[in-house]
Amino acid sequence: MLAKRIIPCLDVKDGMTVKGTNFVNLREAGDPVELGRAYSEQGADELVFLDITASHEGRKTFTDMVGRVAETLSIPFTVGGGVNELRDVDRLLNAGADKVSLNSAALRRPELIDEIARHFGSQVCVVAIDAKMDENGWTCYMNGGRIPTEKSLFDWAREANDRGAGEILFTSMNHDGVKTGFANDALARLADGLTIPVIASGGAGAREHFRDTFTLGHADAALAASVFHFGEIKIPELKEYLKGEGISVRLS
């Protein structure tokens, strides 16, 4: 069995790591370079860096910051925010990213997934999906959760899978920052219906929530932010707990 991955996420705005609830009410959580170094040293399996206002503001991810974070890491590094074309991918890979995360640009032009997979390999392409459960089911959103689309979570995830994405990063906007657990029913449906790994995001508040998303949600990896940034859960202790629960994890 492949080891389950624990992935801290740095949501970066104006050069600082921030965290909110349901995608709003942001508060500062620290310097991304220092946090990245700390997570690498603590045994995180990967690190995700998202420039959360790049798509909304129509600018490119802060490449210099990406490079400074990458220099501190000894783990795989995924970067997203304002990735719209192959040149953006090339620029971020050259700055030290191992993978790029697409969200809004892929929804607007799904062919971008095919192009990245063809030019750089599927392993480089992570398709991030921000979705909210409403009266119509799970609806996908663009621009940091600001703009609803006509795409449903499961149809879009399957299309991204078929176009050559290497992973799906699903964030439940309903669960984001609420700390009551991940959207495990939706995650299990995703994981069971796709041929690529699924990363769970949105809702981590306790060690048990990570256990549940691996067992009930069938997730391949679990991403979290505030519980790590503010010291509520320590990664080494979380991994020891998961190991004790019979879940395969990589220990430092």
Kindly tell me if the per-residue pLDDT of 128 is higher than 70.
yes
Kindly tell me if the per-residue pLDDT of 28 is higher than 80.
no
Residues 105, 45: Cα–Cα separation, whole Å: 27
Least confident among 26-30, 119-123, 229-233 = 26-30
Give the pLDDT confidence score for residue 50 in this predicted structure.
Answer: 86
Kindly tell me if the per-residue pLDDT of 36 is higher than 70.
yes
pLDDT tens profile 227-239: 998 889 999 999 9
HSE of 137, CA atoms in CB hemisphere, 13 A: 10
107-117: buried (b, 16+ CB within 10 Å) or exposed (e) per residue?
beebebbebbb
Q: How confident is the model at residue 153 (pLDDT cuts 50, 70, 90)?
A: very high
Give the pLDDT confidence score for residue 27 in this predicted structure.
Answer: 47
Give the pLDDT confidence score for residue 169 in this predicted structure.
Answer: 98
First to last CA, the chain: 18
Q: What is the mean pLDDT of residues 102-122?
A: 97
pLDDT tens profile 61-85: 578 888 999 999 999 999 998 789 9
| Catalytically active residues, by annotation | 11, 130
Higher-confidence residue of 117 and 51: namely 117
CA distances from 247 to 7, 44, 101, 252 (A): 16, 16, 27, 15
Kindly tell me if the per-residue pLDDT of 144 is higher than 70.
yes
Give the pLDDT confidence score for residue 186 in this predicted structure.
Answer: 98
Q: Name residue 134's amino acid.
A: D
Going from the N-terminus, what domains does the chain have, and what CATH number goes with each?
Answer: 5-244 (3.20.20.70)
Kindly tell me if the per-residue pLDDT of 23 is higher than 60.
no
